[in-house]
């Protein structure tokens, strides 16, 4: 038996390959001693005038991280180092590795799971493959070139920049949202720079490489189609078989799941065989807020002639494949209704209000993203009561690890095909790449129950309608053929169990504007870009797939990444770590009507963080209060790929920003919120739990000093997965002094909603009269804060005591006479905690 797999992990080296086909001509050269990076943090003070002949390389990895590990470049994420590293993406690079010929077999293959991106593979100096798609894997038969004993594999990467520019020249320019040709190469688009990401155009072997041997035949692909029919789970497994040359032996494919087993003979000459199994009384897989996540192991084996028992790796076993699957149904309900048409994800027959976040690659260098890191990030999503993650189209088709972790956690995943913010050419060679890439990734990801939706593109249909593209294109292709024909055909052919939708936003027809509030998913970007955040209330979408508001990273992350002295919102490093067009201007204009001016950098950081949390909370509460008409709120964005001021809830070092806590509270199963309704105010009780929520509701209008000015009581009842609205009488919600009063709604079980009659900056905030006690607790402490009078946006700044300390709450508003205990892990304060020192309140900032 010669079936073997030898991963090529050790012994790789990286070298500059010099200009190939003239590819690197006319582009920035490698650094000379005069172009020493500005902020050498961990690198030598001078760089060699030429790079060494070669450096050790990590596979999977990327050129940037190898040069970083060799001490040849500074950390691209610090200060303005990005600017000095542009040359890397314009060079040709060569990776080499020696390996010993494996024991002879009928076939010896080089299996490459991912090359980034424009690559020529040579074995013993002989070119064996040329590729230009980061999102595909490749298998190369080596039998013709393999030698006994030592062999060498080399992968030469041409500049993705150059390749894209060449295709742009060949196919004609196409409009896009950024000044780079990212849509002319099948590579993670945000790598070229985005409005939250640096331009670090990578090259490298970003997924594993192995030498594999086999005889007779192997499993070349498996497509499990998993559905549920009443109480019966059904699995239809299509198995692709590849045979070695000249071998047409009788084969058997065996499939087993949940104690059920079937085997089917593979007829000589046949390339695909289908095996079907039924699992009675199957336990359903649910998103975490609706139920459990039972996963069943699905085993597929390929045997020569008759099969032995599964698991018996006897002499007849030719190949084995195994994944964990889950039984559930999923539909996208787009049925017409009185408003337009629904846009609702339905799992096991239950319509889900998606409490979602958008996801971007967690690092500009994806080979650094470990399973542990993904687990931590996805745990942060679940802990914020997120049930849906949208993998955005400017990144990657996420990894097996990502999807397995989502399967386990009951997170629904919406995966975009990789088209974002640009007009994409449909001509060759790109069209064939898109087709192959789509087929491969739909097949790769289809075992995962968490994957519930394939979406064609991010904002490209919107761009075509609204961003002047139509004129610029002058009839050239822009991607419509992908979104409306090619991609839906691939999903229907490869995985008909999954819904497909052409774009986000898209209104279901090219005859309608794509970003309507009556049909389809909508992106609410007027708010961040042009309008006050209270304008979220003017939108009544069927599903909000993107909306968000910026805030800075946490202070420890910021201080690690930016060493400006002094640190100011507009100091050079800060501006470099703010990639959005007029980002700081938008932050300042957004804050002006709501918040006081900041006297210090720390105050600015506090106010901008509070603003981000408040703005997004405001949007989420509004959208959830529309439950029924609206069935999704997907916040832009959960994570960052480096330390940057952005829309993220978790910063580039994985620390939770105030927004994360705001999201956690606004996404709780039970949400009480006060909303304007019919010229007055109403309390909305939103219930995304399964049980009825009911009880007394008390509404008080009180002065900020604590005097109760009006009080009203009622009872409320809201069924599971529903919203109830209780209109408030004018007497309780009409203030005498709007700047000095607050409306407080409270349920019997302690849920609370506040309504202020004026923006924060117009509040006549009294001195809150805080009483702060700190008591040790575990490895941290409990900070108990009592407010004599209203204390607005109280934040305990535990990360000032230790970079990795964490407070269990974000910005908390304390009513007069109330107490809140902030649980801090990982640090205790060096001294007393008071406003301005370890703790901040809005009153404290106003007073300065
Ligand atoms: C949307 C996204 C991203 C972008 C974000 C913030 O358009 O699709 O392209 O980063 O807005 O501007």
Instruction: Tell me what the mean pLDDT of segment 526-530 comes to.
Output: 98
Residue 40, pLDDT score: 33
Q: Is the confidence at residue 202, as pLDDT, over 50?
A: yes
Q: What token pair was written down for 744?
A: 């407080």
Pocket test for ligand 1, best of 527, 636, 644, 648 (most atoms within 8 A of CB): 636
Cα(306)–Cα(583) distance, integer angstroms: 66
Phi-psi group of 508: left, alpha or beta (phi > 0 → left; psi -120 to 50 → alpha; rest → beta)? left
Q: How far, CA to CA in Å, does 165 sit from each of 68, 92, 184, 726?
A: 27, 15, 7, 59
Nearest CA among 403, 449, 445 for reference residue 285? 449
Q: What token pair was written down for 341?
A: 């048409």
- 605 burial (CB, 10 Å; 0-12 / 13-18 / 19+) is buried
Cα(735)–Cα(738) distance, integer angstroms: 5
- What letter would DSSP give residue 646? B
Cα(461)–Cα(608) distance, integer angstroms: 33
Query: Whose alpha carbon is nearest atom 6 of ligand 1?
Result: 195
Residue 37, pLDDT score: 34
Residue 248, pLDDT score: 81
Cα(696)–Cα(338) distance, integer angstroms: 34
- Largest Cα span, the chain: 91
Tell me how far the alpha carbon of residue 669 lies from the centroid of ligand 1, in angstroms: 28
Residue predicted with more confidence, 46 or 565: 565
Tell me how far the alpha carbon of residue 671 lies from the centroid of ligand 1, in angstroms: 28
Instruction: Tell me what the mean pLDDT of segment 143-164 comes to.
Output: 97
Residue 659, pLDDT score: 98
Q: What token pair was written down for 126?
A: 């002989």
Q: Which residues pair with 211 in a beta bridge?
A: 6, 110
Q: Which atom of ligand 1 is nearest to the CA of 196?
A: 10
pLDDT tens per residue, range 738-774: 999 999 999 999 999 999 999 999 999 999 999 999 9
pLDDT tens per residue, range 668-689: 999 999 999 999 999 999 999 9
Q: How far, CA to CA in Å, does 674 sit from each of 371, 533, 583, 683, 745?
A: 41, 16, 30, 5, 8
Strand 680-687 and strand 107-112: pairing? unpaired
CB 759 within 8 A of CB 611: no
Say if ligand 1 is within 6 A of residue 195 CB: yes
Please report which confidence band the pLDDT of residue 315 belongs to, taking 50, 70 and 90 as the band edges.
Answer: very low
CB 206 within 8 A of CB 399: no
Say if ligand 1 is within 6 A of residue 458 CB: yes
Tell me how far the alpha carbon of residue 157 lies from the centroid of ligand 1, in angstroms: 29
Residue 563, pLDDT score: 98
CB 324 within 8 A of CB 275: no
Angle at 422 between CA 411 and CA 632, to 5 degrees: 30
Q: Who's near 9: CB < 8 A, 6+ residues apart? A: 59, 208
Instruction: Tell me what the mean pLDDT of segment 366-383 comes to.
Output: 98
Q: Is the confidence at residue 1, as pLDDT, over 90?
A: no
Q: Which atom of ligand 1 is nearest to the CA of 195?
A: 10
Tell me how far the alpha carbon of residue 118 lies from the centroid of ligand 1, in angstroms: 27
Residue 22, pLDDT score: 41
Say if ligand 1 is within 6 A of residue 196 CB: yes
Say if ligand 1 is within 6 A of residue 194 CB: yes
Query: Whose alpha carbon is nearest atom 10 of ligand 1?
Result: 195
> What Rg, from alpha-carbon coordinates, does the chain have?
29
Q: Which atom of ligand 1 is nearest to the CA of 458?
A: 8
Nearest CA among 115, 6, 9 for reference residue 56? 9
CA 379 to chain centre: 13
Q: What token pair was written down for 441?
A: 């990734």
Cα(815)–Cα(792) distance, integer angstroms: 8
Nearest CA among 684, 707, 658, 657 for reference residue 815? 707
Average pLDDT in the chain = 94
- Residue linked to tokens 């900041």: 598
Q: Which atom of ligand 1 is nearest to the CA of 548?
A: 6
What would the DSSP string read from start to end of 338-406? SSSB--EEEETTEEE-EEEEEE--SSSSGGG--HHHHHHHHHHHHHTT--EEEE-TTS-PPPHHHHHHH
Q: Is the confidence at residue 235, as pLDDT, over 70?
A: yes
Whether 581 is catalytic is: no
Q: Is the confidence at residue 693, as pLDDT, over 50?
A: yes
Say if ligand 1 is within 6 A of residue 526 CB: no
Phi-psi group of 608: left, alpha or beta (phi > 0 → left; psi -120 to 50 → alpha; rest → beta)? alpha
Tell me how far the alpha carbon of residue 410 lies from the centroid of ligand 1, in angstroms: 26
Other beta carbons less than 10 A from residue 274's beta carbon: 13
Nearest CA among 513, 532, 515 for reference residue 524? 515
Tell me how far the alpha carbon of residue 782 lies from the centroid of ligand 1, in angstroms: 39
Please report which confidence band the pLDDT of residue 18 belongs to, taking 50, 70 and 90 as the band edges.
Answer: confident
Q: Which residues pair with 674 in a beta bridge?
A: 683
Nearest CA among 643, 661, 663 for reference residue 553? 643
- 456 burial (CB, 10 Å; 0-12 / 13-18 / 19+) is buried
Instruction: Tell me what the mean pLDDT of segment 408-435 comes to.
Output: 98
Q: What token pair was written down for 676?
A: 């304007």
CA atoms within 13 A on the CB side of 234: 9
Say if ligand 1 is within 6 A of residue 416 CB: no
Say if ligand 1 is within 6 A of residue 546 CB: yes
Catalytic residue among 301, 440, 459, 546: 459
Tell me how far the alpha carbon of residue 596 lies from the centroid of ligand 1, in angstroms: 28
CB 451 within 8 A of CB 498: yes
Q: 20-34, 320-334, 407-421: lowest mean pLDDT where?
A: 20-34
Cα(358)–Cα(460) distance, integer angstroms: 17
Q: Which residues pair with 48 in a beta bridge?
A: none
Q: Who's near 550: CB < 8 A, 6+ residues apart? A: 528, 580, 583, 586, 587, 608, 612, 645, 646, 647
């Amino acid at each position: 038996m010669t079936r073997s797999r030898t991963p090529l992990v050790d012994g790789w080296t990286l070298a500059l390959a010099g200009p190939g086909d003239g590819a690197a001509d006319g582009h920035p050269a490698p650094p000379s001693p005069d172009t020493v990076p500005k902020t050498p943090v961990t690198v030598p003070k001078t760089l060699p005038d030429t790079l060494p002949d070669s450096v050790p390389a990590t596979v999977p990895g990327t050129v940037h991280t190898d040069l970083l590990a060799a001490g040849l470049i500074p950390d691209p994420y610090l200060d303005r180092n990005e600017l000095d590293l542009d040359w890397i993406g314009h060079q040709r690079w060569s990776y080499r590795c020696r390996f010993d010929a494996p024991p002879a077999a009928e076939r010896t293959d080089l299996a490459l799971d991912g090359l980034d991106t424009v690559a020529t593979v040579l074995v013993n100096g002989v070119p064996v493959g040329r590729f230009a798609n980061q999102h595909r894997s490749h298998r190369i038969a080596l039998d013709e070139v393999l030698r006994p004993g030592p062999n060498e594999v080399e992968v030469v990467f041409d500049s993705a920049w150059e390749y894209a520019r060449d295709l742009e020249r060949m196919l004609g320019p196409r409009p896009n949202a950024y000044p780079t040709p990212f849509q002319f190469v099948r590579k993670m688009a945000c790598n070229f720079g985005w409005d939250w990401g640096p331009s670090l155009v990578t090259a490298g072997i970003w997924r594993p490489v192995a030498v594999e041997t086999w005889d007779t035949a192997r499993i070349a692909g498996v497509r499990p189609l998993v559905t549920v029919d009443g109480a019966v789970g059904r699995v239809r497994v299509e198995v692709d078989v590849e045979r070695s040359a000249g071998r047409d032996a009788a084969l058997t494919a065996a499939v087993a799941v949940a104690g059920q087993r079937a085997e089917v003979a593979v007829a000589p000459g046949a390339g695909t065989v289908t095996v079907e199994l039924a699992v009675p009384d199957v336990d359903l897989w649910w998103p975490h807020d609706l139920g459990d996540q039972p996963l069943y192991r699905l085993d597929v084996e390929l045997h020569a002639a008759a099969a032995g028992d599964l698991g018996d790796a006897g002499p007849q076993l030719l190949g084995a494949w195994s994944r964990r699957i889950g039984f559930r149904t999923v539909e996208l309900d787009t049925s017409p209704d009185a408003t337009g048409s629904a846009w609702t994800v339905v799992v096991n027959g239950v319509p889900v209000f998606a409490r979602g976040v958008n996801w971007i690659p967690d690092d500009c260098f994806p080979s650094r993203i470990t399973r542990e890191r993904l687990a931590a990030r996805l745990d942060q999503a679940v802990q914020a009561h997120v049930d849906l993650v949208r993998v955005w189209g400017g990144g990657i088709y996420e990894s097996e690890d990502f999807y397995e972790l989502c399967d386990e956690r009951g997170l629904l995943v919406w995966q975009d095909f990789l088209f974002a913010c640009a007009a994409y050419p449909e001509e060759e060679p790109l069209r064939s790449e898109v087709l192959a890439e789509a087929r491969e990734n739909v097949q790769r990801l289809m075992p995962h129950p968490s994957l519930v939706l394939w979406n064609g593109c991010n904002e490209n249909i919107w761009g075509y309608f609204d961003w002047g593209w139509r004129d610029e294109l002058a009839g050239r292709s822009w991607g419509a053929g992908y979104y409306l024909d090619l991609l839906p055909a691939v999903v229907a052919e490869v995985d008909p169990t999954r819904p497909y939708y052409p774009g986000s936003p898209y209104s279901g027809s090219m005859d309608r504007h794509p970003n309507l509030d009556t049909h389809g998913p909508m992106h609410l970007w007027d708010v961040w870009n042009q309008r006050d955040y209270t304008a979220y209330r003017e939108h009544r979408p069927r599903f909000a797939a993107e909306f968000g508001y910026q805030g800075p990273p946490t202070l420890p992350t910021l201080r690690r990444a930016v060493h400006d002295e002094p640190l100011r919102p507009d100091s050079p490093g800060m501006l470099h770590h703010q990639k959005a067009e007029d980002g700081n201007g938008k932050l300042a204009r957004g804050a002006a009507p709501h918040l006081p001016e900041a006297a210090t950098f720390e105050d600015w950081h506090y106010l901008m963080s509070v603003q981000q949390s408040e703005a997004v909370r405001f949007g989420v509460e509004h959208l959830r209060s529309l439950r029924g008409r609206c069935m999704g709120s997907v916040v832009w964005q959960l994570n960052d790929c480096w330390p940057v001021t952005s829309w993220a809830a978790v910063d580039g070092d994985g620390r939770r920003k105030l927004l994360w806590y705001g999201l956690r509270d606004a996404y709780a199963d039970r949400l009480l919120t006060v909303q304007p309704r019919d010229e007055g105010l109403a309390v909305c009780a939103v219930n995304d739990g399964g049980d009825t929520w009911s009880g007394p509701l008390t509404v008080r209008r009180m002065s900020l000093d604590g005097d109760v000015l009006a009080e009203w009581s009622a009872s409320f009842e809201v069924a599971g997965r529903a919203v109830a609205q209780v209109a408030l009488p004018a007497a309780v919600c009409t203030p005498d002094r709007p700047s000095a009063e607050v409306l407080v709604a409270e349920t019997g079980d302690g849920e609370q909603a506040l309504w202020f009659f004026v923006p924060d900056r117009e509040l006549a905030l009294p001195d809150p009269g805080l009483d702060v006690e700190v008591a040790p607790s575990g490895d941290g402490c409990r900070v108990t804060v009592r407010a004599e009078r209203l204390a607005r946006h109280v934040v305990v700044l535990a990360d000032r005591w230790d970079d990795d300390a964490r407070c269990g709450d974000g910005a908390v508003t304390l009513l007069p006479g109330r107490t809140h205990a902030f649980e801090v892990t990982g640090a205790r304060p060096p001294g007393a905690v008071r406003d301005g020192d370890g703790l901040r309140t809005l009153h404290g900032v106003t007073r300065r």
